[in-house]
């Protein structure tokens, strides 16, 4: 099984990056392969270009998008990992999904926008926030994200949503034991869905 670990955080030593690392180690330990797409370190341009809109005769994805799509064409599991800012994913992650998972790659079979192209693939998501989990749930933010970025996205692309794990109260002063416990949760989640718990 091949996993694409797609994550977005401007700091290379962030909790988001640590989640990506823990997830990758867990699935590699199962004998699976991974590719890492650290969007900030890649300098990915999240801005959708006029020619990338599937209307008109000049429709064509950018060269950077074509390269990403080639790299992702045989992926079995897409793992999205990101923090919540203003209770939504970063613009970098949203832009990556808009450009790379757009028409002709994730959907658009037979030239129709409602025909998914990633049937049989899976999506797992990990998000984090400085606010406690209970608050993110109470405000409806987590449900909205799960609806748009998991269920709807999967329906559009033909993927199967696996799970969305959210970690609340991830703040700079969080204790190392708290952070390590959350990273253990990441590993357990990966093993629960893609391997056997020991």
pLDDT tens digits, residue range 37-70?
999 999 999 999 998 988 767 889 999 999 999 9
- Cα angle vertex 93, ends 54, 106, to 5°? 40
Q: How many domains does the chain have?
A: 1
Give me the CATH number covering residue 59: 3.40.50.360
Query: What residues does 166 pair with on adjacent strands?
Result: 127
Residue whose pair of structure tokens reads 């869905």 in the numeric block: 193
Whether residue 197 is predicted with pLDDT greater than 70 in this model: the reply is: no
State residue 198's pLDDT score: 42
Which residue segment(s) compose the domain that 81 sits in? 2-194
């Amino acid at each position: 099984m091949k996993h694409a670990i797609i994550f977005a955080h401007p700091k290379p030593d962030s909790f988001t990056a640590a989640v990506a690392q823990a997830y990758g180690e867990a699935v590699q330990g199962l004998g699976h392969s991974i590719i890492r797409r650290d969007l900030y370190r890649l300098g990915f341009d999240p801005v959708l270009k006029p020619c990338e809109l599937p209307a008109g005769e000049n429709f064509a994805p950018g060269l950077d998008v074509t390269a990403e799509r080639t790299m992702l064409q045989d992926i079995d599991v897409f793992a999205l990992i990101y923090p919540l800012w203003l209770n939504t994913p970063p613009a970098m992650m949203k832009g990556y999904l808009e450009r790379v998972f757009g028409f002709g790659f994730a959907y658009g079979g037979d030239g129709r926008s409602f025909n998914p192209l990633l049937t049989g693939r899976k999506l797992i998501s990990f998000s984090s926030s400085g606010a406690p989990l209970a608050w993110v749930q109470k405000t409806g933010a987590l449900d909205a994200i799960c609806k748009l970025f998991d269920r709807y996205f999967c329906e559009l692309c033909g993927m199967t949503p696996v799970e969305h794990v959210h970690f609340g109260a991830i703040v700079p002063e969080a204790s190392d034991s708290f952070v390590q416990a959350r990273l253990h949760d990441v590993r357990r989640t990966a093993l629960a869905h893609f391997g056997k718990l020991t």
